[in-house]
């Protein structure tokens, strides 16, 4: 499932790069303003019914029908509010073009509420291949339509219309891939809200944590600054937080089934953390190391101001990637209020840093505020999960030690390669330097990780799962040769 989801994320990365080449930072910033307002309005329906249906041990048809009914009602309500707030929002951002964008986005909210709730059963029943097919179809439709419109229009309307088309395809595809046909019903509201009320609070806090910078940057810096921040976040987060998202999505049902067996849940959690570290650490640190080559080569010269943003946000993504799986443990064992308390503390810390940092240093200050906040929250998260699953600091750190040391070796190698190639502003030289850094960095990381794993006695875990298969493949290749 995770490997298949990586394909979907790869399409998202290609889409972002292609659109960044065709559109300007201001185009992304304008659409980000509208999406931030939509995300704010969606909080009134952010009860996390999908998560509740996956976690509920005995979800029946009336639970699914109730969730779909509420999604439809919330979609209609959000659409009405978007139309009503279009002009006030344009005045807030001093951006008159925002009015028409929000009118169009209102239609997308209605379409989103119509999606077939039956597709949630894919995750509940661990049918991840069907979940992947559904998500991949949505992603491909959005990619081809949005990029095609960007070629034709060369304006922010490509992003707006592409989003609407993706919503339409998502609705149609959801009814095609799953036979469930929802009906209007509120019969299961008590069971859903018993668990979802905490998810609502978590989602509200999560929104402020994730989207507060968009409001502040958009207001103080305008569409250009917000566009730079938005694209920098997408580029830096794709190989880390976006890489981890499908892993978390895949393991949550398994965690829920192991909630009554603390020993098995503990083992499963440590194995997942090991797998996350194996890929998220080199991906995030690698992005930060080659950002000065990546931006002009992949995005173009008009995005150079995004380089320091990508470097800071890439490290932020690594820290977040190593912590987010903890939340799914609490959700699986039925402790959403603990997630709320943790997120609340993080929110208070973030706001203390975010407002003055953004006011003083703009988008880069916001990036540093996010990084500083998650670093301060690491001891809190580790202490709580250690108590819940009886995990020592040493056991957790052991899952990170070898990937981290391999990343150090990778960093030294990339720094040496960049030093040997020297600075050159010619595009051909930049492409060659980027390719050399990526190839050598990946090779050094792999060799260092393998060596450390062999020195440690080939212990069980994610490294054994991956590296032993590499050994088998190489042995087979030698045999054929």
**Residue of higher predicted confidence among 447 and 466:** 447
Least confident interval from 116-120, 143-147, 301-305, 450-454: 116-120
Q: How confident is the model at residue 176 (pLDDT cuts 50, 70, 90)?
A: confident
Which range marks the domain in which residue 470 is found?
219-481
Task: Name the DSSP class of 398.
Answer: H
* Within-domain flag for 396: yes
Q: What is the CA radius of gyration of the chain?
A: 23
Least confident interval from 189-193, 254-258, 269-273: 189-193
Residues 156 and 271 in one domain: no
Residues 176 and 243 in one domain: no
Quickly list DSSP for 314-345: HHHHHHHHTTHHHHHHHHHTT-HHHHHHHHHH
Q: How confident is the model at residue 403 (pLDDT cuts 50, 70, 90)?
A: very high
pLDDT at 56 over 70: no
Distance between alpha carbon 402 and the CA centroid of its chain, in Å?
A: 25
Residues 292 and 427 in one domain: yes
Residues 54 and 179 in one domain: yes
Residues 179 and 245 in one domain: no
* Within-domain flag for 199: no
Residues 417 and 321 in one domain: yes
Highest mean pLDDT among 62-71, 89-98, 193-202, 465-474: 89-98
Residue 352: how many other CB atoms lie within 10 Å = 13
pTM of the model: 0.75
Distance between alpha carbon 149 and the CA centroid of its chain, in Å?
A: 25
pLDDT at 123 over 70: no
* Within-domain flag for 446: yes
Residues 154 and 33 in one domain: yes
Distance between alpha carbon 383 and the CA centroid of its chain, in Å?
A: 25
Final residue of a structural domain among 130, 165, 187: 187
* Within-domain flag for 246: yes
| Residue 325 confidence (pLDDT) | 81
Q: How confident is the model at residue 481 (pLDDT cuts 50, 70, 90)?
A: low
Residues 408 and 457 in one domain: yes
Q: What is the pLDDT of residues 359-387, one digit of tens each?
A: 888 889 999 999 999 999 999 888 888 88
Task: Identify the CA nearest to 379 among candidates 401, 405, 397.
Answer: 397
Task: Name the DSSP class of 218.
Answer: H
Distance between alpha carbon 436 and the CA centroid of its chain, in Å?
A: 28
* Within-domain flag for 204: no
Q: What is the pLDDT of residues 334-359, one digit of tens each?
A: 777 777 788 888 888 888 888 889 88
pLDDT at 121 over 80: no
Q: How many helices (H) and strands (E) does the chain have?
A: 17, 0
* Within-domain flag for 198: no
Residue 402 burial by CB count (10 A; 0-12/13-18/19+): exposed, middle or buried?
buried
Residues 269 and 172 in one domain: no
| Residue 341 confidence (pLDDT) | 82
* Within-domain flag for 401: yes
Average predicted confidence (pLDDT) for the chain: 82
Residues 419 and 313 in one domain: yes
Give me the number of domains the chain comprises. 2
Residues 117 and 229 in one domain: no
Residues 153 and 244 in one domain: no
* Within-domain flag for 210: no
């Amino acid at each position: 499932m995770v490997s298949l989801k990586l394909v979907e994320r790869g399409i998202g990365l290609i889409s972002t790069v292609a659109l960044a080449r065709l559109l300007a930072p201001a185009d992304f910033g304008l659409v980000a303003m509208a999406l931030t307002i939509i995300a704010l309005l969606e909080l009134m329906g952010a009860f996390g019914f999908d998560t509740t249906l996956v976690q509920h041990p005995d979800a029946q048809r009336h639970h699914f029908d109730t969730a779909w009914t509420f999604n439809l009602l919330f979609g209609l309500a959000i659409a009405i509010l978007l139309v009503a707030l279009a002009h006030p929002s344009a005045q807030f951002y001093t951006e008159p073009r925002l009015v028409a964008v929000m009118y169009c986005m209102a239609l997308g909210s209605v379409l989103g509420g119509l999606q077939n709730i039956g597709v949630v059963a894919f995750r509940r029943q661990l049918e991840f291949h069907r979940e992947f097919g559904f998500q991949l179809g949505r992603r491909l439709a959005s990619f081809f339509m949005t990029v095609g419109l960007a070629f034709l229009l060369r304006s922010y309307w490509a992003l707006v219309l592409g989003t609407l088309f993706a919503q339409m395809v998502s609705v149609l595809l959801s009814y095609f891939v799953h036979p469930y046909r929802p009906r209007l019903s509120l019969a299961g509201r008590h069971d859903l809200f018993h668990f979802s009320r905490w998810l609502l609070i978590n989602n509200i806090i999560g929104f402020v944590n994730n989207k507060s910078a968009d409001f502040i940057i958009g207001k103080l810096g305008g569409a250009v600054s917000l566009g730079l921040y938005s694209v920098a976040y997408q580029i830096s987060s794709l190989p880390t937080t976006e890489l981890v998202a499908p892993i978390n999505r895949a393991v949550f049902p398994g965690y829920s089934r192991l909630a009554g067996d603390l020993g098995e849940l503990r083992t499963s959690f440590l194995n997942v953390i090991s797998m996350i570290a194996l890929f998220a650490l080199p991906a995030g640190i690698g992005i930060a190391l080659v950002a000065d080559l990546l931006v002009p080569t992949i995005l173009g010269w008009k995005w150079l101001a995004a380089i320091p943003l990508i470097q800071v946000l890439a490290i932020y993504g690594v820290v977040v990637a190593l912590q987010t799986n903890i939340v799914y443990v609490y959700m699986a064992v039925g402790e959403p209020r603990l997630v709320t308390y943790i997120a609340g503390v993080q929110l208070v810390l973030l706001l203390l840093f975010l407002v003055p940092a953004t006011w003083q240093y703009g988008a880069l200050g916001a990036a540093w505020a996010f990084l500083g906040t998650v670093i301060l929250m690491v001891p809190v998260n580790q202490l709580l999960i250690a108590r819940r699953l009886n995990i020592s600091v040493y056991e957790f750190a052991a899952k990170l030690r070898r990937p981290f040391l391999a990343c150090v070796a990778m960093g030294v190698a990339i720094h040496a390669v960049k030093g040997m190639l020297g600075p050159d502003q010619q595009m051909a030289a930049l492409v060659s330097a980027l390719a050399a850094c990526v190839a050598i960095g990946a090779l050094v990381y792999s060799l260092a990780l393998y060596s450390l794993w062999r020195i440690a006695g080939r212990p069980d875990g994610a490294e054994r799962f991956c590296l032993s298969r590499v050994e088998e493949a190489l042995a087979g290749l030698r045999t054929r040769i």
